[in-house]
Structure 1
Amino acid sequence: MNIKYSVVIAIFCCASIVKAQTVLTQAEAVKLALENNYGIKIAANAVEVADNNTSILNSGYLPTLTGSAGATYNLDNTEAEFSNGTSTVLNGAESDRYNASLSLNYTLFDGLGRRYNYKSLKEQYQLSELQARETIENTVIQLFSVYYSVAQLSENLEALRETLEVSKDRLVRAQYQFDYGQNTKLGVLNAEVDINNDSINIISSYQSLKNAKRDLNVVLGNALSYDFSVSTAVDFTLQFKKDSLFDKAKTRNVALLQSEKNIAISQLSIKSSKSGYLPTVGLNGTYGWNKNNNNAASFVAVSTNTGLSGGLSLSWNLFDGGSTITSVKNAKVNLETQKLEKENILIGITRDFENAWEDFENKLNIFNIQEQNIITSQSNFERTQEKFKIGQVNSIEFRQAQLNLLNAELSRNQAKYQAKLAELSLLQLSGELLNVEF
């Protein structure tokens, strides 16, 4: 790649980044994700459906009211013979009948089945809220994973830009030294090679940054229609001690809370299944209207009647082939399964918490060490640069010091965001992720 061409491209990439951009803060990113992320919207719809299911309209406690109406038309040929010996023939005799009725049915008692089913629907609504919370937590973790990737690439790009500036100054110095006979052409060529490499790194990093921004916008539901930058400031806000945080994990972890809801639903399912052992008592009432327009062969030409009827019914399925017994047995097995699942989740939480806590501590320590390493590398580079200017070190040694500083900066950037993501994972595990400010 031509040295001038590579520098121009690298400068263009830098200029595209440093121009005025809207800074998307962590809090703003979370707000946009909660409002626009499609996974969260779908989870919210599931909660709304569960809420609708808990309505009194879906409880079975309300009566049913049915209206019906009908009409019948007859065209008959009738031959009638009476007891006194006379007879008559009637052809094309017309008759019609009309009816309408309202029927009311209400279940007074169904073995308490609807009561437990209604309670189960309420538990399922709370379960759907926990599932939505889990979706939100996972989305927040996904959001910050991409958000901090953008932040890391932004800082990396700035470090690469500074490296390129140093390489450009070195090329100018090497050219002057060559022009005045103080250095060979090799020094100029080495500087040009290093500039090309720095330019290529900038171009690659710039492309990665653009891709990461697109990924972030997808998590945000494509809420941003303009170019943006992100905040690179990171605060480690974990205020809990290990024991207290572990206690929260055993009581507020969303997977554990869902397991407890499933246990409650299974317990209600047993009670609901047992309702099949008890009778059902129902109340019914009907108000009806009937009108008959009879043909000439009838003794009554027109008849109209209205009436109100009501009744009480009892139904007791003394033996249903064993389906109720089987249903109760299966419900009990499901309850035992849910209890075992809860114990398994508790074991997993204990393991995951220990791993997450140690992972956070280690990554935070690594970040602190990398911060100190930056100071050392910066000091080493500045001293090497001074010696390079007076000819006490060669270009290879200078380049190595320059790369050491760059690698220290890149490693520090990576360690910073990995430590923050480890902290967020720990907060998610303990159920406190949505209770902190971003």
Structure 2
Amino acid sequence: MKSMKIKLFLISVGLGLQSLVAQEVLSPDQAVSLALEHNYGIKIANNTVEVAKNNTSILNSGYLPTVTGNAGASINKQNSEGQLANGETRVANGAETRNYNASINLNYTLFDGLGREYNYKQLKETQQLTELQARETIENTVLQLFTVYYSVAELNENTQAILQTLEISKERLVRAQYQFDYGQDTKLGVLNAEVDVNNDSINLMNSKQQLQNFKRDLNLVLGNSLTDDFNVDTTIDFNELIDKATLFDRAKQYNASLMQINKNIEINSLIVKLEKSAYLPIIGLTGSYGWNETSNNSPLAFALQNTSTGVSGGVSLTWNLFDGGTTITRVKNAKLNLETQNIQKEEYLVTLERDFNNAWDDYQNKLNIFKLQEANIKTSQNNFDRTEEKFKLGQLNSIEFRQAQINLLNAELTRNQAKYAAKIAELELLKISGEILNISF
């Protein structure tokens, strides 16, 4: 009866493995495409870029004139009394006076000390800065994506390894049960095998649970765009990196944070010029076209109705000769902010070199560890195969067999960890170098 249950369990495990294999495999390229389209942080960054583009429009530049329209109407009723030249007195009770007016006014700044020009250039530079910030958001998202993606891949391979270990333990339990039934072994062998099966089953349950949790984390990075269960590609291809010196030169050119600092320096240079523009005068042009009509039913009025239309224009000059020193203060502060940006750049260049060297050494170290673990797998597998053969021949006890089984499982888990740790280290190095979006996944 126990043997039948064990066989049914092995069949169910096989079916579960087949269903796992039948799941849709999410490739790295597909994952990147889904993240770029659905990730919430990237969506927000793209909207921020669109706002910056709108701010650089000609409609927000200050180069266009302003046109306003005005209209009004008024009614006035009053009692009045007047004396004519011949001595006659006239009285007007409830005399009504109506006034209507409308006008179109134009205002245009011909010259504002070049402040408008520098402000427009600043908006253009700010747009580019926003695009760099969006790029950094995308780079961080891609790194986060693959950190979770490869965690799913590692747990998937770990689950497969634990599942294979459980299958071996089940086969051992079947063998121990048969040996006990035919008097070739004691009950202790069966109990030891059952304990190992239970432990492997618990490890498998925990691994599956972790796998599902990380799949949900991955789906969150993808903007919850996956509705069905999925699997990931466990194949790892390491990129052929150029030499260290060349890669560091690219980091000094294309690192997203450094490029933002350079852009802030350009913006602050324009701010200094913008503040200095307040020293110069402002020349403006004004124009107006107006219509006015007045009607009066009073017998004392000189004219009962008067209508006028006309065009007017003018040029104005405003020169702030002294504003209490606020312009001088703003210019000084702008220069200090520019100096601060240059100091921050010097500091970041030192930090960048340190981070690059650390990332380079970390990648080389983890890649070498992975290669050693790959070789260790072959040794552990060979050791297990020989131990299994001796165990079937009765030359080894179950404790020695179990130890070889655990050693093989640990070697596989360590190899999996080393493989994906090396890949993440590579991506971190490429991100620092500004190259993470230029590789094929």
Task: Tell me if TM exceeds 0.5.
Answer: yes
Superimposed CA distance per residue, residues 263-319 of structure 1 (whole angstroms, 9 cap, x where no aligned partner): 000000000000110100000000000000023221011000100000000000111
Q: In 2, Cα distance between the equivalents of 1:213 and 1:421?
A: 18
Q: What is the distance in 2 between the residues matched to 1:13 and 1:200? A: 19
Find the partner of 2:76 among 68, 74, 81.
Answer: 74
Aligned: 1:283 with 2:280: no
> In structure 2, the residue corresponding to 1:50 is in which secondary structure?
helix
Unaligned segments of structure 2, at least 5 residues: none
CA distance in 1, matches of 2:313, 2:15: 85
Tell me the equivalent position of 1:402: 405
Letter in 1 for 2:167: E
Residue 292 of structure 1 aligns to a residue whose secondary structure is strand
CA drift of 1:21 comes to 1.0
Deviations 1:171-198 (A, max 9, x none): 1111121122221111110000000000
Q: Distance in 1 between matches of 2:360 and 2:293?
A: 83
For residues 56 and 350 of structure 1, what CA distance do their matches in structure 2 show? 41
* Secondary structure at the counterpart of residue 207 of structure 1: helix
Q: Is the 8 A contact 2:10 2:170 kept in 1?
A: no
8 Å Cα contact 1:130/1:254 also seen in 2: yes
Q: How far 1:7 moved relative to its partner?
A: 5.2
Is 2:176 the partner of 1:169?
no
Distance 2:95 2:13 in 1: 103
Do residues 426 (structure 1) and 418 (structure 2) align?
no
Which residue does 2:35 correspond to in 1? 33
- Same amino acid, percent of matched pairs: 65
Partner of 1:351: 354
Instruction: Please say which of residues 171-180 and 213-222 is displaced more in the overlay.
Output: 171-180
- For 1:401 and 1:13, locate their aligned partners in 2 and report how far apart those are by CA, in whole Å: 27
Corresponding position of 2:214: 212
Amino acid at match of 1:358: D
Query: How far did 1:239 drift?
Result: 2.4
- Matched with 2:98 is 96
- Which residue number in structure 1 is paired with residue 116 of structure 2? 114
Report the alpha carbon displacement of residue 8 of structure 1 after superposing the two structures with TM: 7.9
How far off is 1:394 after superposition? 0.8
Q: State the shift of 1:12 in Å.
A: 8.6
> Structure 1 residue 302 and structure 2 residue 309: aligned?
no
State the match for 2:269 in structure 1: 267
* Amino acid corresponding to residue 300 of structure 1 in structure 2: A
Mapped to 1, the partners of 2:15 and 2:279 lie a distance apart of 76
**For residue 240 of structure 1, what is the aligned residue in structure 2?**
242
Q: Describe the SS at the equivalent of 1:124.
A: helix
From 366, 370, 380, give the equivalent of 1:367.
Answer: 370
Equivalent residues of 2:287, 2:314 under 8 A apart: yes
> Residues of 1 paired with 2:385 and 2:138: CA distance?
47
Q: Secondary structure at the match of 2:227?
A: coil
**How do residues 176-191 of structure 1 correspond to structure 2 at under 5 angstroms?**
176-191=178-193
Residue type of the partner of 2:63?
Answer: Y
How many angstroms does 1:238 deviate by?
3.4
Distance in 2 of aligned mates of 1:131 and 1:326: 30
Distance 2:335 2:85 in 1: 73
Q: 1:341 aligns with which of 338, 344, 356?
A: 344
Distance 1:133 1:303 in 2: 66
Quick check: 7-16 or 311-320, which moved more?
A: 7-16
**For 1:201 and 1:235, how far apart are their aligned partners in 2?**
29
User: Alpha carbons of 1:52 and 1:349: their partners in 2 closer, same or farther (altered >3 Å)?
Assistant: same
Shift of 1:85: 2.9
Structure 2 CA distance for aligned equivalents of residues 315 and 165 of structure 1:
90
| Matched position secondary structure for 2:277 | helix
Aligned residue in 1 for 2:157? 155
Deviations 1:91-115 (A, max 9, x none): 0101101000000110000000010
Q: Secondary structure at the match of 1:284?
A: strand
Where do 1:303-322 residues align within 5 Å? 303-322=306-325
Q: Is the Cα–Cα contact under 8 Å of residues 367 and 415 in structure 1 kept in the other structure? A: yes
8 Å contact 2:177–2:190 — kept in the other structure? yes
Counterpart code for 2:407: N
Within 2, Cα distance between the matches of 1:300 and 1:327?
Answer: 58
Contact 2:153 2:233 (8 Å CA) reproduced:
yes
Secondary structure in structure 2 of the residue aligned to 1:62: coil
Cα offset for 1:86? 2.6
The 2-side partners of 1:403 and 1:17 are apart by 26
Scaled by the length of structure 1, the TM-score of the pair is: 0.97
Partner Cα separation in structure 2 for residue 284 and residue 228 of structure 1: 68
For the 8 Å contact 2:122–2:267, the answer to whether it is kept is: yes
Q: Work out the number of aligned pairs and report it.
A: 437
The 5 A counterparts of 1:132-151 are 132-151=134-153
CA distance in 2, matches of 1:238, 1:317: 62
Deviations 1:362-401 (A, max 9, x none): 1001100100010000000001111111111110010000
1:13–1:206 Cα contact (<8 Å) kept: no
Question: Could you say what secondary structure the match of 1:237 adopts?
Answer: coil
- TM-score, length basis structure 2: 0.96
Counterparts of 1:307 and 1:145, CA distance in 2: 73
Q: Counterpart amino acid of 2:50?
A: E
**Corresponding letter in the other structure for 2:418:** A
Q: Are 2:153 and 2:234, in contact at CA under 8 Å, matched by a contact in 1?
A: yes
- Contact 1:9 1:203 survives alignment (8 Å): no
SS at match of 1:321: coil
- Read off the aligned partner of 1:252 and give its amino acid letter: Y
Who is 1:222 aligned against?
224
Name whichever of 104-113 and 72-81 sits farther off.
72-81
CA distance in 2 between counterparts of 1:251 and 1:341 reads: 16
Report Cα offsets for 1:184-220 as digits up to 9, x if no partner: 1111100000000001111111111111111111100
Give structure 1 stretches of 5+ with no counterpart. Answer: none
Deviation at 1:82, TM superposition (A): 3.5
Of 48, 51, 69, the residue aligned with 1:49 is 51
